[in-house]
Structure 1
Amino acid sequence: MVLVLNKSLSSIKEGSFKSCILCLLVLSLPKPAVSIQPDEKVFRGEAVTLRCDIQGGGVSTWQYSWFKAGSSTAVSNEQQYSISSVTASDGGTYTCRGAVRGTSRYSNYSQAVTLTVSGECGKPLLLFFGHSWFVPYISPMDSIVTQCLSLTDASFF
């Protein structure tokens, strides 16, 4: 939004500028968008990356900060906050915001996202299905169906 005011300054001095144009540029603060890869719900030991993106605001060089709920100290000052092996203590609610480099001008905080960390993924179970429920042996020309699943924390997702 741009507001242009034209105000007469005739009361200043004779012979000086008779009018002045004042331009006031009002910019709304941009709100960062947050994404989590691979998902907001993960198992302990998995890798997770949180990414903060800010569009608009007329700024191309943002400095990013990540915050975890309950702490006023940033957990990261990078656009991407990566955790190579999540633990239960990494679970929680995160927000990010940006600052224009070299200034005290900040974006709004992002919408909060919650990272949920569950126990370890169980060992996979490989099932074979053949001509009968019990497959004592498999011949080279037999057709089989395989299925891999994990029973640990199956209700998590």
Structure 2
Amino acid sequence: YLTWKCNPKTVAEAQALAKAVEGGAWEASKVDVVLFPVALHALPAQQESKKAKIGMQNPYKAGAFTGEVSVDQIKDAGMEWVLVGHSERRHVFKESDSLLAERVKLSQDSGLQVIYCIGELLEEREAGKTNDVCAQQLDAVLGSISDWSQNGYG
């Protein structure tokens, strides 16, 4: 998978990136290539993607949640994949393991494929805490996973 985080700056650049991935030497029948652009660029990038799939970052439930994109909206746009738990969501936006587990469950219950990200900070790695941190992040989501075939890990 390729997460674009909060890049690029323009729709045209997003479309160009999607088109460049399309031109790569890979076969869609042998591998899933999923691009995760920012929400505003997802549909324009999808127009350029025939082999690669376009997914959405950070899904949530429908309702009065300013700035969120619901799993229903993602499915309505024809997307099959979501990315949950990237390090910036955990550390910059302070999203808890329980919130991320909720995002995984909502996504799976809606039939979406999930890439669930785990990982430690540099300080945690240097302190020898990698296994503990990753185990905690996995433990938090294990009860939310209803179908293991609907998941990938980043």
The TM-score normalised by the length of structure 1 is 0.24
Higher CA-based Rg:
1
* TM-score normalised according to structure 2 size: 0.24
Structure holding more helix per residue: 2
Considering fraction of residues, name the structure with more strand: 1
Q: Which has the higher contact order (CA 8 A, sep 6+)?
A: 1
